[in-house]
Amino acid sequence: MVMDINEIREYLPHRYPFLLVDRVTELALGESIVAYKNVSINEPFFNGHFPHHPIMPGVLVIEALAQACGILGFKTVNKLPADGYVYYLVGSDNVRFKRPVMPGDQLVLRADVIREKRGIWKFACRATVAGELACEAEIICAERKVA
């Protein structure tokens, strides 16, 4: 284990029901991160998406990947939300969904840095379930100081 939920909460400002990273298993500063989200039927979005065939909304799969990217960015530059910084999801390119994510799945989130310039980060991301590709995307995040 590289980061448990307590340390993750130091690096992400998100809280229930929007904290979508449960554990970080690999982290190479400035290079890559591997994390996961345990998908439970108790997630609030399953009440309406879809009641008789629950699947995790694709936008939340992208959000989970973006949160993993934020952890990697924060850890790399040694900053914290408590210091007044935030990583915004500012773009996604080449997004493809390959399989639905359902209750009981463990969603493995991987992000590799493509480049960083003046606080703008671009990542190559993949979300898998049991080794099977669920989603791939290029995600762009921007580091910003907030008041």
Residue 61: closest CA among 93, 96, 91 = 96
Residue 13 class from Cβ within 10 Å (0-12 exposed, 13-18 middle, 19+ buried)? middle
| Residue in 14, 49, 52, 53 annotated catalytic | 49
| Dihedral angle of Cα 8, 14, 19, 23, to the nearest 10 degrees | -10
Residue 49 class from Cβ within 10 Å (0-12 exposed, 13-18 middle, 19+ buried)? middle
Report which secondary-structure segment, H or E, holds 115: strand 106-117
SS3 content of the chain, % helix, strand, coil (to 5): 25, 45, 35
DSSP secondary structure letter of residue 138: E
49 in active site: yes
User: What positions carry a catalytic annotation?
Assistant: 49
